[in-house]
Amino acid sequence: MKNINLVSLRIITADIKRLVQFFEKATGITAKWSTDEFAEIVTSSFTLAIGSTKTLAVFGEGIAQPAANKSVIIEFLVENVDEDYEKIKDLTSEIVQKPTTMPWGNRSLLFQDPDGNLINFFTPVSPDAIKKFD
């Protein structure tokens, strides 16, 4: 494969309205609803798709389990993680790590969405990290 791009990540949830509202508030982006069971948060570089458990019927029984993620962190590059923290701390009590400058040069805020998925908002602050995202 010469040209491959990750363009979307889909979260399966048992409560789609709650999760979509959370991500709309966290990102400031209004979701695009395709059906009552599927919505997308579309950014300039990536789409976060959110589907209800009903969307799994197409794939078969037991293919995914909502609110069971223990290995993936969904990361958003933001302009100012410290400013976003002020908004996020009012949105969830599940703050895993307040804004902290990481050894690799990103200032990072780690929190959980209502389904327990880990979300990282980060802002590059070191010269090398800034250069990586220019």
Q: What is the pLDDT of residues 113-123, one digit of tens each?
A: 999 999 999 99
Decide: residue 84, CB within 10 A, 0-12 exposed, 13-18 middle, 19+ buried: buried
Place of tokens 């909502």: 66
Residue type, 126: S
Mind listing the pLDDT tens digit for each residue in 34-78?
999 999 999 999 999 999 998 887 777 778 888 888 889 999 999
Q: Does the pTM of the predicted model rise above 0.75?
A: yes
Residue 8, CB half-sphere, CA atoms under 13 Å: how many? 10
User: 């709650």: which residue's tokens?
Assistant: 18
Q: How far apart are CA 58 and CA 24, in angstroms?
A: 26
C-alpha–C-alpha distance, residues 128 and 115, integer Å: 34
Domains of the chain in sequence order: 1-61 (3.10.180.10), 69-134 (3.10.180.10)
**What distance in Å separates the CA atoms of residue 80 and residue 125, rounded to the nearest whole number?**
10
- Please state whether beta strands 47-52 and 38-42 pair in parallel, antiparallel, or not at all (unpaired): antiparallel
Say if residues 117 and 69 touch (Cβ distance below 8 Å).
yes
